[in-house]
Structure 1
Amino acid sequence: MSAFLGPLEADGRLPPSQQTRVAAFLVSAHGALARQYALALPARFDAAWQTELNAQLYRESEIVSLLTRATAWTPDLALGPMAVSWEMAWLPEPMEAIADDARAQAIHLATLAHAVHAGIRPAALLPTEARADDPFVAALRRIEFESGRLLQAQILFLKGPDLLPYRDAVSAALERRHREVRKLWREMLASLGIHIRE
């Protein structure tokens, strides 16, 4: 087991098989967030936090677009069952403690996005000798940079005064989401022979 992607190809690029599987996972996670943000957006904004949903929708869409173009895709027969398990994991979970459906959906999105942006560190997998001009390498670094920015918005929403009455339910949902996302990420990397420390 290795802690990094590779070994690198003769031209210094990451193997297309690894690019494909890592990108497929990231496209699944960020694509799910983009779809759910699009569904959560109301026709008219009634609260300030809803404007952030709009901004996050476009950032998630940009991440998906970047990955689809920067990845050297190759056929991967194992992706079918893996992708099904990923897509099932991103589905909203009921929050019985919160009667307001719109608020519950926003909390689900924020906890999932927080887990994805905080729990997945794709650039940390890059070996130091990876080519900086490799589009996939540049994409992973860009995604990690954007994740740090997006994380701030989720923290502000989840710790905001509007959710104070639901603090226990929000904390439990956040912890559960982090466990799920970390587990799926580790399993996908293990399938490539990569081990990441907790």
Structure 2
Amino acid sequence: MITIQDTGEKYRKIKEQSEQYFANHVLTEDDQTLITLFLSGIKAANVLVLSKIEFQPMDWDPYRKMHQQYFKDSELYALLMKATQWSLNPQVYLKGNEFNYKIWSKANLPTYMMSMFDKDTWFFRYLALSHAFKTEIRFISLFPETMAFDTPFLSTLYDIEVENGREIQTQMALLKQLEVPNMTSEDKERIVLEQREIVIEHFSSFLEYFVNRKDNSSLIDFNIV
């Protein structure tokens, strides 16, 4: 049985391994494409979920905050797609879509898109999941301090994580202030932990695949011998 401690230890080790990888590798087109596909699956889902707030009644304060997040996430998602040097390797896209399918299924993302927001457990679960995405999925901290963020891709990735840092504070306030009928503080803590574990497992799995590719041996070689 895998425990929270086991997951945390694995997460710590794979992040250390990732730091070593990025310290010794320049980001290739395959790398950029994989990272963008990984992030775009999450960003696209979040934008689709947040778009619902424009068409339903909601208290002004949470609406204003989520409205700002909706348009900012949409902008940064579009910029990242534009800034990426896209790979010509179809296997990269298959792997990226595989990770997206897993998180959409594991985190039950389609349910949040179909259901209307209300002060209920599903809304709280979405807020906790969104908070976990922005808190745990951070590439910049894995890059060496000497790395210059002077390319469109790296500067956009940096902007995304800076904005995530700002939105984390807003999400924390919403999680604390949201009063859900029949939900205790223990229930809230349990849900936040569950969503965090889903995201950590997903990010760990991606990083483990990313850094353990053997000279891209798992990708198709287009060189004609």
One of 142, 147, 150 as aligned partner of 1:130: 147
Pick the structure with more helix per residue: 2
Identity of aligned residues (%): 21
Question: Against the structure 1 CA distance between its residues 45 and 36, is the aligned structure 2 distance closer, same or farther, given a 3 Å change threshold?
Answer: same
Assess if the C-alpha contact under 8 Å between 1:93 and 1:108 holds in 2: no
Aligned pairs for 1:178-197 (under 5 A) are 178-193=196-211
Larger radius of gyration: 2
Assess if the C-alpha contact under 8 Å between 2:136 and 2:199 holds in 1: yes
One of 59, 62, 72 as aligned partner of 1:49: 62
Give 1:88's aligned amino acid.
S
- Deviation for aligned residue 1:5: 2.5
Count of residues paired in the alignment: 185
1:8-46 superposed Cα distances (whole Å, 9 cap, x missing partner): 44xxxx211111111111111121111111124444444
Task: Give the match for residue 176 of structure 1.
Answer: 194
Task: Give the match for residue 118 of structure 2.
Answer: 102
Task: Give the match for residue 14 of structure 2.
Answer: none
Question: Against the structure 1 CA distance between its residues 129 and 168, is the aligned structure 2 distance closer, same or farther, given a 3 Å change threshold?
Answer: same
Give 2:72's aligned amino acid.
R
What is the TM-score when the length of structure 1 is the normalising length? 0.81
Task: Give the match for residue 133 of structure 2.
Answer: 116
Matched, 1:145 2:162: yes
1:111-168 superposed Cα distances (whole Å, 9 cap, x missing partner): 1111011111111122334332111111221111111100011100111163596222
Aligned pairs for 1:31-110 (under 5 A) are 31-74=44-87, 75=89, 76=92, 77-92=94-109, 102-104=118-120, 105-110=122-127
- Deviation for aligned residue 1:80: 3.1
Alpha-carbon distance in 1 for matches of 2:110, 2:30: 32
1:51-79 superposed Cα distances (whole Å, 9 cap, x missing partner): 22211111221221121111112131322
Q: Which segment is superposed worse, 142-151 or 33-42?
A: 33-42
Alpha-carbon distance in 1 for matches of 2:172, 2:18: 32
Assess if the C-alpha contact under 8 Å between 1:8 and 1:130 holds in 2: no
Task: Give the match for residue 4 of structure 2.
Answer: none
Alpha-carbon distance in 2 for matches of 1:106, 1:50: 13
Matched, 1:30 2:43: yes
Task: Give the match for residue 97 of structure 1.
Answer: none
Give 1:125's aligned amino acid.
L
Assess if the C-alpha contact under 8 Å between 1:33 and 1:109 holds in 2: no
Unpaired runs of at least 5, structure 1: 95-99
Give 1:150's aligned amino acid.
E
What is the TM-score when the length of structure 2 is the normalising length? 0.72
Question: Against the structure 1 CA distance between its residues 34 and 182, is the aligned structure 2 distance closer, same or farther, given a 3 Å change threshold?
Answer: same
Alpha-carbon distance in 1 for matches of 2:34, 2:130: 20
Q: Which segment is superposed worse, 156-165 or 122-131?
A: 156-165
